[in-house]
Structures are given as structure tokens and as C-alpha cells.
Structure 1
Amino acid sequence: MSDMNTLVGKVSETNNKTIVTDGAHILNLKNSLERDISKKGVSEIINKSVEVVGNLLDKNIDAGERRGLIFGKIQSGKTNSFTTSLALAADNGYKCFVVLTSDNLWLYQQTISRLKKSLPGISIVGKEEWEHKVNAIKTRLELNGVIFVSTKNNTNLNKLVNILKETGANKYPAIIFDDEADQASLNTNIGKDDEPSRINALINNVRENFKNRTYIQVTATPQSLFLQGLENLYRPEFTILIEPGEGYIGGETFFSDPHYKYLLKEVAEDEIDSLISSKVRSVNKTLPVGLKRAICMFYVAATIKLLKNEGQHFSFLCHVSLKKADHEHIREIIQKYADNMAKTLYQKEERKLNALVTLLENAYNELLPYVDAIPTFDEVVNKLSFFISSTDIQLINTDSKNSSGQPTYDQVYNILIGGTKLGRGVTIERLLTTYYGRQAKKPQLDTVLQHARMYGYRARDLDVSRVFLPHHLAERFQLIYDSETALRDVITNHKDEGLRAIWISKEMKPTRSNVLDPNELGAFAAGKTYFPHKPLFKKSDIEGQTEAINHLLKDFMYKKESTIIPIEFVSTILTHTKTEPTSPGLWNEKRISLALNKLSNEFEECYLVVRTGRRLTRQEDYYANRGLGAVYQSNELKIAGDELPTLFMYRQDGFATDGWDNYNFWIPVFRFPKGNYAIMFNLS
């Protein structure tokens, strides 16, 4: 037996499962993972997989579905997480698995390859093999199980449904892993048509083929999933947070921690426009200053690593547009500049050489304080002179000569230019320098986050890694990091609750609009004020709550000015307020609680304003439809500043002559602090 004990994964207060963690599949995978990951890191991956398997629909139940989410970070090892979950499920008696990948041949082949290396005891069948292995699949389903791997496109999903029926796989309890589930799986006809969009309908069909199934979404950008309605088939019922392992470099390092501010190099705001082919008027195709600095930085950084025997092949990423014409334009001017650099270093014409050496020396001097045992500048230039002429400049788009669109890393210096294909799911090997300038009038949070190819297990290269981008894009990435962190904090602190809120800047959208129902979305906006339009007021409903709030606020009732209190005290007060379920407006105690959870990361204190002796009138007919129209007077909002969150508490006398129940009750009013943000959520 293994030194790992059998673990019990606690699923809920009513459902404990004993999970075998020392089976053949997981032990084999454990040994494989420990070649590249520390034992502690592998143990953490397995523990998360125990959570996943603990949440699966019991295979002994006749019919039903569980919906879950594996929520990782960009390039943090989500594939290892779902592969380990798959191995653990196989050791616990599950035999039928489906893995859905992006409709990208390169990523599909990468997934197939990883699964075959990681799970040699399970039969993995890709889309090319289904028709020829019907009998073999039937046999292997009875033995160690089968993993069906398919891309998410019309032809393959239809074939998948057919092979599941033909082999009888659909009679087995199934686990369906939908990789990058937020990308292509959601219904894009929301608000336009009663019929779901094509890929969404086909994935629904795959799921419905199994009577007993668990559908697990895998992504680092689940914003669109959490903004689905609570009853939506693509809204996760449980979420497993995957934390990166040792050596991971992400948004905190690049865009939040001031100790690493040197990693960012600002380029002029108008520089990106000079690279967009439709905006270039001059026939003189020259490199803008920032891109020139970035390329020189890359050549110096890669050569330093080469001289230190810390690698043989390195990458530069240029991502400024999704248009192929722009990619070609950028390739031409980078190729021209790289050729001129090579010629200058070879011919050593004094004037040109001096200018180039100055640029290279500036890059070297910028890296100098951060690189241990750095080679001399002369050594760098000499080595660069030898290798630079073999620089490989590649276009990574649908016109790529490589049919899969996959980058190659055959040379020391590999410069990659592209757009969409250099986004989601793509790991760029030994990426040292990123030049980013992707523009959008109303950017989408999840899309931009997927552009962060500089994230990943890159600690060994951090000393020479740099990101070149305009200031406003650096700010955008920081806002996205803040939003991602807030969402993960909400899940950590409210793990068993279905409500999720997305914290975003006002200048951004959380995701693409065509996968969201606008009638189900709400948002708390910076500087705005919210209150319950239908507070509970009958003595039988709130007697204990009123007494509790009276006690909490006894020291504040007669203060004319605002008082600064800990923000946690606001949460305590609001646990005693109650609102009718049919109350209109955005006020909801759970939503406010989640918003306070986020605000507490930014603010330690809050203003409190308390007023008593209020006499609002309740008109039966109007109240039944709309509730209270107003609770406060506009001049009262000026009592407290708007730089902090503010809670106004109004105690109503509750006289029967005013339409109430002859009992005091409290109405909370909460104002969000000013700023450039909103907190979005699904109203259901």
C-alpha cells in the first residue's frame, strides 16, 4: 500500500464519501508528476482531485447530473488537475470519460498526448479512431475504462454522440470534462432565439446521452459561467479552486507587487497605432521606439541565458492585433530590423554599430541589477553576433505555414507574431519578452486575461523577463488582477453558496454580451446608493432583529455627524436586517454581503450614519407593487464623505396610522465608495 492514507472528501454536511487515493492509476500518475513537480505540489494536486471526485454524482444513482467547475489561473496547470481527477475517478470505479477541447488542432493534439502519457492504464480514443475501434471500445469500457477526446465543433460532436450510442458508452455513469468551457460551450443565442446555438446544443446532446453524469467545466476565466442564471445548465453547482504551484508567476507579480515594477516597460500610447496596417500612411515601414527597445531587450536577455547555460531556445511575443494584415505588416518591419541588426554586427560599420551598441547596452544595463553572475556586455554582443542571423520570425494565425498553427522553437531567438491563436490555452516556451498592445473600445475581462501569456511557471526566467505595453493597458491588467482576486476570495469565503459576484472596472465588460441574458444581470456601481424597497416590518417577523440592531447602535443613535467604524461591523449590523423576497431593486442581503467581502480587501473602515424617529408612510397599493420609493433625503448623503463605504441606518417609528404594524424597524441604506468599478451578478 502507499504511504498515502485513504482520504474522506467532505462534500456537504449531508454527504461524506470515502475516496480511494492509492489506486493504480493515481499512483502511476503521482510518480510521473513528481519528475517535474515537488512532492508537496503533487500532494496538493491530489487533494484538490479528492474534492472533485467527492463532488461527482454517485455512480450508483440511476439518473441525474452534477455541474462543477475547476477554476485555475492562467497557465497554472489546470490540465494536471483534471487529469489527476480523472485518474482518481477511475480508481474509484468510473469507466466512461469525455474530454472536450477547443476547436484547435494543436491544443487537441496536445491534450491527447498529455492524457496518453499520464494515464497509460486507460484507453484514450481521439476523433480519428472512433469509427475503427468500436469493438475495442466496448471491451475496454468493461476493463479499465475509456476516455473519449473531441474538439468542440459540429462534425466531431455529432460523431461523438453516435459513437457513445454505438459502443454503449452512454449506459455508463460518465464524467465530462469541458476544457475552456467558457469559450465555445455557452449558448450564444441568448436574447435572440429560443433555440440554443449549434455547439451549445450539441454539447447538451452529449450530456443528455448519459443518464448518470457529472459535467465539469475547466477554465481560468469563469466570469461568463458565474453570470448565468442559477438554474442554467452551464452555471456550476460546485467550484474547486486550483492554486498554482511553486514557481508560478502571475498578475500579482507583473501588475500588483511594487517590488517587481521593473518588469513593466512603458511604451508611448500612440505607438500601437503606428503598427496597425490600416493606420500606417507612410511607406517608410520603420520600427517604433518601444518595439525597437523590446527587441533589443529580448536579444540581450536570451543571449545572457544562453551564455549562462540556462537554455538553448527563447521566445519573444508580439500581440497587438487580431488582423492578419497587421501581423504581416509587423513581420515585415521586424524582419527588416533584425536583418539590419545582423548586418551591422557583422559588417561593423562604425556609425551604425555605435547606434546599435547603445540600444543593446541600454538593455543590458537595465537587466544588470537583477541578474546574478551576468556575462560581460562584450560577451553578450559577440555571442549575439554569431546567432542573430538565424532568428526565426513566425506568424501564428490561420495563414501559418505550419498547418496546426503551433509555434516552433528550433532557433535560439524565436519571435512570434499573432493574435487570437496566441491567446487561450497556448503555452509559449521560454517567453522572455512580451510586446502587448491589443486595443478594444470596450474590452472583455475574460478575453484580455487570456492574453496574459507571460503568466506561468516562469520563475527561472524572471530576472530577464520584461513586458512592454502602454500605461493604460498596464492599468487594465491590474484591474483584471483585482477582479480575479476578488472572485477567488468570494469563492473561498462563501464556498457552499451559489451566488458569485464579478468585480470589474467600468471601462470593461466581464465577458461577451451574446452569452448573457441582459434581463438577468444586475450591478452595484461605484458611488451609488441602495436600500431595500420592501423591508420586513411586522413585529412577528422582526422583533428579535430590531432589538439586536438597537443594541448594536445604542452608542450612535444621537450623533449628528458620521462615525468611522470597522467595515466588519457593517456586516454584523446587516445580518439583522430582513427584506421581503419580492422586494424590487437590487438590494439583497446576500449580494450586499458579497460586495462587502470584496470591499473589505480595499477598505478597513466605513462611515456610519444613524437616524431615528423617522415616519415614512406606507400606501398599501403602491407598496404592494413598488415598495418604498425613497428612504433618505438627498442632503443626508452629504453627512459622510464618499471616499469610504457608507451605511445609513434609519429607524422607522412604524405607526399603524402610517400603514405599518405599530413596531419600530430599521431600514439600511448602503452607498458604495466612489471609483471606477462595478460589481456584477446574476439576479437569479
Structure 2
Amino acid sequence: MTTVPTEMDLNLNGTFYKGLDKKNGYSNETKVCIENTVKKLLHNDTSLSRPGMLLGKIQSGKTRTFIGITALAFDNGYDVAVILTKGTKALAQQTYERLKMEFEDFKHDDILQIFDIMSLPDNLTNYELEQKIIFVVKKEKNNLNRLKRALFETYPSLTNKKILIIDDEADYASVGFSKTKSEIYEIKVIAGQIDDIRQSLEQCDFLQVTATPYSLYLQPDNIEFRGFVFKPVKPAFTQLVPVPKEYIGGDYYFRESEEENTIAYYIYEPISPEELIILKKPDPRRFKIEEVLTSHKVHSLSAAVMNFIVGGVIRRIQSKKIGERPKKYSFIIHTEQKKQAHEWQEEVVIEMKQHLSVIVHENPELLTDLIKESYDNLKKSLLLLNCDVPEFQEVKYEVIQAIRKDHIMITKVNSEKDVNELLDDTGQLKLRVPLNIFIGGQILDRGVTIGNLIGFYYGRSPKTFQQDTVLQHSRMFGYRPIQDLAVTRFYTTEEIYDVMRKIHEFDSALRAAIENGNDNGVIFIQKDTSNKIIPCSPNKILMSKVTTLKPLKRLLPIGFQTGYKTYISKTVQEIDKMVDSFVQGNAPVLIDLKDAVTIIEKIHETFDPEAGERWDVKAFISSMEYLANNVPEQHIGKVWCVVRKDRNIARFRKSTGRYEDAPDTASGGQNELNVAKRIANGKPCPHSYTPARLRRTRMERCTILVACTCHASENANGGIYE
């Protein structure tokens, strides 16, 4: 883990942090995360272009952690906290209710006030303004305008206070650019409003909270257009939210699921792509809805619904037997964005429910077969638990009762209005009956909590998968009792499952890199080399300088200019001395990464920053370090070095007048690219070219001093860095 500055002493015994710790019983890992984050906020200038990053996993406790950070910040000099939520009433209300519950005692003691910005009174007294204040603000135009008026017009005294802005779901609406018809890049309205507010505050720190940070890491440092300077929200530091062992995420669904004799092994159920096509819209030629329980065309969906009903019934039976109150359970169907598809899917599932009600009386044998198929399916994972497994006849009886007594509810959710009508007092989706089936799309993702989820039928299959979007769709992630997992099933196509598994691997690699202390300012985000998966929407990084690393690609400076001979000759001699100490002749040689970095840094010293094209040496070195350290253990920290001397390479090609961009083939080259391809098996391969003579005069700028290329191995993962 990255070490934290020790010179900053925190008050860990203040009223707010101590009170919340007593109430919630934070784990040691969570305390470390909270305290490190506040230390870094105090130690780093995060008020403008370099906010802090609190990086968690989907439904892993990020809200709980940033509430703890808010409490500790209040004990250490901050007076106001602004919580930016996703621009939906559901998430704003959920956050507001959560904050009210957590800080309830402090509100009663008149030391803290909490307001939804749209309900903020215009007549707060000094008595109230002197208390700690929390504003909950949706990332929406009117909310942000109201916040701006409150801070700078209604209560201008607040601008003199120390303010902490916490941007929850920070990659949503906080960044992004649009290309107009006239090809001019424009900042999206929300991002511009947030930026305007934070730049106008004198004592303001900024913390981003997200599980999908890819677009944020890939932001440029600043953008200027039409005379306006925009400071993108690019992280200055990253603090990882600890992941307790009780958390169920990608490791469970895509790694543990490969191990036989585990509950996870039984969780995935493949569905056919043809079934997803049928569920897009009505088409009697493909599927007759009256055959909904018997047609093989929608067998996975009908089996999924039956598994959910049987699984929910089994869990309720188990709870009753040990004297617990039976829970209500949920199942999500999310395959399409279009409302037309949601309406059709609702029609299909309602028809399924009605058919079940009919066959209770008219075809009990078919119902018995359907229940038995699901019971046998779920029993495989239930038997791996040391728990009571109800007998089939008992389960069958309770399933029939659930059908007869209408314990199954089907709800279509495809608008914010739908979500708002379904919220309970805490801002979560209300489970009204024992078995709740929700059909919808994107409106069900990002922070909307759906309790006791034991079934997820997922089928979003675009041409290109956006990594952040797919992860946010993964509502099956979170804290799940092991007993619920035994009856949980996840349904999707094999193609989508493979994509999600690869996304999990990419996400895990990013987290591991941060955990291992990759804080040199260049963040590597893995990318599918086939372009089936991209990190985020292209609009979010439209203005960014992003480079892709892929197998056998080379990076090299092009069009640079060297300094005058009198200025650089000493450095050139130092480079020659180092290179000669490693290499004799033309044969490639393995050298230590640290030595390669030293050579590259010295090469960069010979460039004239005022002339020619610039070389991003930090990105070059970071790429070399990344490739050299992501190899089998016995090869870590080594790179191949190929040296060629006595070259006289022109800066421009005579034939085209363009910059020379292939030093490995130019001016007597022996096609060292093939050499690099042959030896770069798991390690990058830098080349060093030194010419026979140095020359640079006012009239002649034609000789390349040194060019370096870096070849990734054929097996290297693709990567994006900024």
C-alpha cells in the first residue's frame, strides 16, 4: 500500500469520528482507509485540478466509508461537506436518508445540519450556520445552480469556511465532452458547473468516489478553449476502500466459480443469444407466448423464474425453521435499454405467472416437473452447505401456496418516475411481496440498492462493451449471506460471461497496481486488444492524450531536436560509457530496469525542449516499467537492450520530407525490429542508436542523437495509459 505522510497529526478522538466509530464499529482496515484519506486531503492541494480518489468496488461499502471520512474531516477543520450524487431522485434520497440516519445524534445535539439542496431554507440563522453542514446535491443543472446561489449569494459566509466536496459516482456526469456539428469540443454542462463552483471556493478540497475510475484517470491535466480553462477532475492520489471477505464480487463469479465442489461453481447458467433476440420484441413467427412454460425458445428465462421462486421459498422455509423472520427476495431481468423490450418482457413474465396459476389446477404434473427441475438444480449447491435442505414435498407445497396467494410481483422499471414510486423510506427499492421480479434497464444500476437479490438475468450485448458500464450493471455484486448464495443463479450468454470475466481481470489488475504503489502519475488501464471492450465512453476521454500498448508495438520519439554539441557532449559521453559497460558487439543483452531508466533519463537531457517535437519521457519510462514488472517472477525488473553504433540518421526522410520514424531500418539498419520480436518474450526491448558524429548548427538540424523504441512481447496484455 502507498505510505501516508506522517507529519500530519489527525484528531482521531473528535466528536464526529469517535461517535460514528462507536455506532458502526469500523474495522481496522476501514479506519486506516478513512484516516489515510483525510491525511491525504489535508496534505495535498485537491481544490482544483487534482482531487483525491476513493476507489471501491461495486456495492462494497463506499458510502459507509465516505461518511466516515466526512465525520473525521469535520473533526479536523472542515466545516461544510457537499455530497454530489448521481442525478436521480432515487440515489439522492437514498444518500440523504443514509446521512440523516448516520448523523442523527449530532443533529439532535445541534452541532450538525443536513439539507437536500432543493429544500434548503432561505432564512438560516447564524446559530445554524455555525454548525457543521452537509448539503446533498444531485448532479443536475437546477441542483447545482441552487448550490451556487446558496454558497455565493444567500449565505456568502460559507465561502470563508473549509469545504469538502465529495463526488459520489464521480465518473458519472462529472466528466465528458461532446463534439458539435462544427467539430468543436464542448464540455458537458454538469462538468462545467461543478468546475465553476470548485474553482470559486478558496478553501475547498475535492474527493471523488467511484468503482469505475477509468475515465477519470485518463483525463488530461487541463484544457483551454475559447479562452476558458477547464481543470478536469483527475486524481492526485488514490485510496482503496478495503474489501472484506464477506464481499461477493468478480472473484466469486469469475474465479471461484471455476472450482468444482464450491457453491460458486453452480451460480452461472448460460443462456442462448437466440433467446435474447426473442425477448427484444414480439414476433409470433419466432415464439408463441402461450407456450411460455414449455417452449425451448425461452427455456432459460422460464427456468430462471422458477429457480427464483423455488429458491426464495427454500430460504423462507429455512428462516422459519430457525425462528427468523422470513425475508423478501428479488430477481432482476436486464437485457435491453429500450422501453419496448421492457414492455414485451413484462408481458412474457406476466403470462408465465398466469400460466403457473392455471396449471396448479389443470396440469399439476407439469407444475411438479417444473418445481422438481429447479429443486434439483438448487439442491446441488445447497448440499455443499452445512444447513437444512427442505424436502421436495415441503418446497412444492410452499411454491403452490406462493402462486395461489399471489406472493409473486412483476414490476417494470424503465424511468426515474418508476423508481421513485418504488422507493421505501430509506431510498431503496421496496420489496412489497415475498418474491419480487424487476424488469428494466440502465435505471436499475449505479447505486440503486435492491435487497436480497438471488437471481440476475442479464443480456446487454453491444458491439463494444464499456468496462465502467458493465461493472455498474453488476447488481449481483455486494454483501450476500452464504445461504442466499446457495440459491442464487446468474444467467447470461457465454460471450457476455467471458467479456465480464475479462473486465474483472482488467479491473483487478488496476487495483493491484494501485495497491502495489503505482503512484508515478501514469495509470495503466488494461484494454481488450480486439477492441471488444473499452474502458469507458469515448466522449469521456475525447480530449485526452491516450496511448495504447499492445503486442509488438514500439514507442519512440519522433521529430525531436537535440541540444547544441557543446551543451550535451558530456551527457553523451556518460551515455556511451554506461552502454559500453553493458554491451559488447551487436548481440542483445539483458540489463536491469533501473539502468535502462537511467539511460533513458540521460537521453532525455540531450533534447532541446524549445525546438522540435516533445517526447513524453515519463510515459515512455512508465511503459517500460509496467512491461518489465508484469512478467513471471524470475524475469521481473529486466529488459533487453540492443545497441547499434556508427549510424547517421537524417531527421527528415528525403523521399517524403516527413520525420524519420523507423530508426531500426534507416541508414544501414539491419531490421532490429525482427531482433526485438524474437527476444521480447515477456520483457520489453529498448534499442539505443548512437551516431558516428554530433552536429547541430543554426542552419543544420538533421542528426538524431539517440532514438529508443520499446517492444512489448507478443503475450503482453494491451494497456491504456495517459
Question: What TM-score comes out, normalization by structure 2 length?
Answer: 0.81
Distance 2:572 2:266 in 1: 56
- Match in the other structure for 1:378: 393
Structure 1 residue matching 2:51: 3-state secondary structure:
strand
Aligned residues of 1:319 and 1:419 also touching (Cα < 8 A):
yes
Amino acid at match of 1:541: T
Distance 2:218 2:47 in 1: 27
1:618 is the counterpart of 2:649: yes
Aligned residues of 1:445 and 1:480 also touching (Cα < 8 A):
yes
Structure 1 residue matching 2:548: 3-state secondary structure:
strand
- Match in the other structure for 1:45: 30
Question: Structure 1 pair 242/545, CA: closer, same or farther in 2 (3 Å)?
Answer: farther
Aligned residues of 1:648 and 1:668 also touching (Cα < 8 A):
no
Structure 2 residue matching 1:113: 3-state secondary structure:
helix
Question: Structure 1 pair 206/278, CA: closer, same or farther in 2 (3 Å)?
Answer: farther
Structure 2 residue matching 1:656: 3-state secondary structure:
coil
Distance 1:403 1:652 in 2: 65
1:644 is the counterpart of 2:687: no
- Match in the other structure for 1:274: 278
| 1:417-474 Cα deviation digits (max 9, x unpaired) | 1111111112221111111111211221111111111111114332222211111111
- Match in the other structure for 1:421: 443
Aligned-residue offset at 1:571: 6.3
Aligned-residue offset at 1:117: 1.4
Distance 2:386 2:569 in 1: 72
Aligned residues of 2:46 and 2:236 also touching (Cα < 8 A):
no
Trace 1:71-220 onto structure 2 (pairs within 5 A): 71-120=55-104, 121=106, 122-132=112-122, 134-136=123-125, 138-143=126-131, 145-165=132-152, 166-167=154-155, 168-189=157-178, 192-193=183-184, 196-220=187-211
Unaligned 5+ segments in structure 1 are 1-8
| 1:290-334 Cα deviation digits (max 9, x unpaired) | 212222222232222212117421111111011111111111111
Trace 1:466-545 onto structure 2 (pairs within 5 A): 466-505=489-528, 506-518=531-543, 520-533=545-558, 538-545=568-575
Aligned-residue offset at 1:387: 1.7
- Match in the other structure for 2:226: none
Structure 1 residue matching 2:177: 3-state secondary structure:
coil
Aligned residues of 2:115 and 2:134 also touching (Cα < 8 A):
yes
- Match in the other structure for 1:394: 411
Trace 1:218-229 onto structure 2 (pairs within 5 A): 218-229=209-220
Distance 2:628 2:251 in 1: 18
Structure 2 residue matching 1:265: 3-state secondary structure:
strand
Distance 2:516 2:598 in 1: 16
- Match in the other structure for 2:370: 356
| 1:501-549 Cα deviation digits (max 9, x unpaired) | 2211121222112222356222122332333446989552254455445
Distance 1:667 1:616 in 2: 11
Structure 2 residue matching 1:146: 3-state secondary structure:
strand
Instruction: Pick one of 476, 488, 507 that aligns with 1:454.
Output: 476
Aligned residues of 1:405 and 1:421 also touching (Cα < 8 A):
no
Distance 1:420 1:275 in 2: 17
Amino acid at match of 1:303: V
- Match in the other structure for 1:4: none
Distance 1:62 1:530 in 2: 32
Aligned residues of 1:647 and 1:669 also touching (Cα < 8 A):
no
Question: Structure 1 pair 295/256, CA: closer, same or farther in 2 (3 Å)?
Answer: same
Aligned residues of 2:177 and 2:187 also touching (Cα < 8 A):
yes
Amino acid at match of 1:84: G
Question: What TM-score comes out, normalization by structure 1 length?
Answer: 0.85
Amino acid at match of 2:330: S
Distance 2:641 2:624 in 1: 21
Question: Structure 1 pair 250/64, CA: closer, same or farther in 2 (3 Å)?
Answer: closer
Percent of matched pairs sharing the same residue: 24
Aligned-residue offset at 1:358: 4.5
| 1:249-291 Cα deviation digits (max 9, x unpaired) | 1111111333244322211232211111177754612361221
Question: Structure 1 pair 221/647, CA: closer, same or farther in 2 (3 Å)?
Answer: closer
Aligned-residue offset at 1:123: 0.7
Distance 2:617 2:265 in 1: 40
Structure 2 residue matching 1:414: 3-state secondary structure:
strand
Aligned residues of 1:65 and 1:213 also touching (Cα < 8 A):
no
Aligned residues of 2:680 and 2:711 also touching (Cα < 8 A):
no
Structure 2 residue matching 1:427: 3-state secondary structure:
coil
Aligned residues of 1:390 and 1:413 also touching (Cα < 8 A):
yes
Question: Structure 1 pair 370/171, CA: closer, same or farther in 2 (3 Å)?
Answer: same
Distance 1:252 1:220 in 2: 15
Amino acid at match of 1:30: D
Distance 2:232 2:344 in 1: 44
Question: Structure 1 pair 547/628, CA: closer, same or farther in 2 (3 Å)?
Answer: farther
Distance 2:83 2:456 in 1: 32
Structure 2 residue matching 1:48: 3-state secondary structure:
helix
Question: Structure 1 pair 190/574, CA: closer, same or farther in 2 (3 Å)?
Answer: farther
Distance 2:476 2:660 in 1: 51
Amino acid at match of 2:93: Q
Aligned-residue offset at 1:212: 1.3
Instruction: Pick one of 652, 672, 681 that aligns with 2:712.
Output: 672
Instruction: Pick one of 627, 650, 664 that aligns with 1:631.
Output: 664
- The RMSD of aligned alpha carbons is 3.6
Question: Structure 1 pair 348/452, CA: closer, same or farther in 2 (3 Å)?
Answer: same
Trace 1:284-303 onto structure 2 (pairs within 5 A): 284-285=288-289, 286=292, 288-303=298-313
Distance 1:643 1:577 in 2: 18
Aligned residues of 1:397 and 1:405 also touching (Cα < 8 A):
no
Aligned-residue offset at 1:658: 8.8
Amino acid at match of 2:21: K
- 352-361 or 244-253: which moved more? 352-361
Distance 2:696 2:368 in 1: 87
- Match in the other structure for 2:487: 464
Structure 2 residue matching 1:163: 3-state secondary structure:
helix
- Match in the other structure for 1:248: 247
Aligned residues of 2:174 and 2:194 also touching (Cα < 8 A):
yes
Aligned-residue offset at 1:147: 0.8
Trace 1:13-28 onto structure 2 (pairs within 5 A): 16-28=7-19
Distance 1:453 1:78 in 2: 15
Structure 2 residue matching 1:271: 3-state secondary structure:
helix
Aligned-residue offset at 1:588: 3.7
Aligned residues of 1:187 and 1:200 also touching (Cα < 8 A):
yes
Runs of 4+ in 1 over 6 A off after TM superposition: 61-65, 621-625, 657-661
Question: Structure 1 pair 213/438, CA: closer, same or farther in 2 (3 Å)?
Answer: same
Unaligned 5+ segments in structure 2 are 107-111, 223-230, 424-428
Aligned-residue offset at 1:349: 2.6
